[in-house]
Amino acid sequence: MSKHILLVGGGSGGHVFPLIAVAEALKTADSSTRIMMLGDGPFLAEACAAAGLKYKRIHSGKLRRYFDLRNLLVPFQSFIGLLQSLWILFWFMPDAVLTKGGAVAVMPALAARLYAIRVYTHESDAVPGLANRVIGKFAKLIFVSFESTAKYFKEGRAVLSGLPIRPGILSGSKEEALQKFNLRGDRKTILVAGGSQGAKRINDLILDSLISFVKTYQIIHQCGQGQLPEVKKTVERYGESPEIQANYRLFPFFDSGEMALAYAAADVVISRGGASNLFEISALGKPAIIIPLSLAASRGDQIDNAKEFQTYGGIMMEEENITPALVLNQLQELLEPDRYREVSLKIKSFAKLDAASHISQILLS
């Protein structure tokens, strides 16, 4: 009899892509496995449609850690989410549930607990978020990406799995990538990856000294869909610069295939400190400059991630202190041949390429 596995998550690519990777590993391990995705947000719906996965949407209440009138709605939204979860789980009746944390995961995990279904959760970041701290109290196992994360959970319950990454990310061809982006093979290429939502501070950093960057490097700039109009306006102010036209490529967002090619073309990556970004970069052995979200704009999870990644050769720069000159200097140092080889090897040791397979085997056991 085929197994039924429920995967729960939503929000940004950092929560969605690892679940897609686990779903692919489950189908590879046992093609008869029935998989359902549960969560919210257009990003998850689009990813499930692209992967051919069954998807159900539920309501969730996100508790904001500051005064916000929307917090008054959280109990009602959560209660609706619990009722939806109980109903969906009753009819699907999974053998195991894997959540990816986040507010949307709490009610399905609780519903599974009420049905005595095995609950597992995965924590991407070095320091767990509130949802996984709650789910971790009754989950059978907590899969963690960073070894240091285990201390936040009951002894023996955390399993170091690494972060599942999309298999296709590793398959990009450099020759094909240079052709797609119309770039030269004899010039170093920098990928500026702001994630699915973009990163305004990183966009501004590149745009403020765009001429300086393109004089030396080819730039593939993924700026985020919501920030595309503003970025395009700024680029247009430079006028008909031959160097920008030759060496600058602007994109709002990459799908998995395009992201694989962008990574393949890149010699160095400039990125936020989201765990998915770090594990993809490390799997490819790409030297990287990591600019995590500041404490003013986050709970500090990206800073903790970047600090761990730094021990494997990544360069961490705080966004409050970065300047184009500092970044250009770091790029020059990273691209020195001996330094480049050393950092590439060290960063690759951070990756755990079997993460999705490891998790899928436990879910199917």
**β-strands 158-160, 248-251: how paired?**
unpaired
Q: CA 297 → CA 201, 292, 319, distances in Å?
A: 11, 10, 11
* 14 among annotated binding-site residues: yes
Q: How many other CB atoms are found less than 10 A from the CB of residue 255?
A: 11
Q: How many other CB atoms are found less than 10 A from the CB of residue 251?
A: 17
First to last CA, the chain: 13
* 274 among annotated binding-site residues: no
What is the rounded distance in angstroms from the CA atom of residue 282 to the CA atom of residue 348? 5
Cα pseudo-dihedral 103, 121, 135, 79, rounded to 10: 40
Q: In the numeric block, which tokens belong to residue 351?
A: 């990756």
Q: CA 208 → CA 152, 195, 249, 322, 332, distances in Å?
A: 41, 20, 16, 12, 19
What is the rounded distance in angstroms from the CA atom of residue 48 to the CA atom of residue 352? 24
* 161 among annotated binding-site residues: no
Choose among 356, 360, 293: nearest CA to 12: 293
Which residues make beta-bridge pairs with 116? none
* 349 among annotated binding-site residues: no
* 294 among annotated binding-site residues: no
Q: CA 13 → CA 88, 200, 248, 277, distances in Å?
A: 24, 17, 25, 10
Choose among 345, 353, 364: nearest CA to 161: 353
* 302 among annotated binding-site residues: yes
Binding-site positions for UDP-N-acetyl-alpha-D-glucosamine: 12-14, 166, 196, 302
Binding-site positions: 12-14, 166, 196, 302
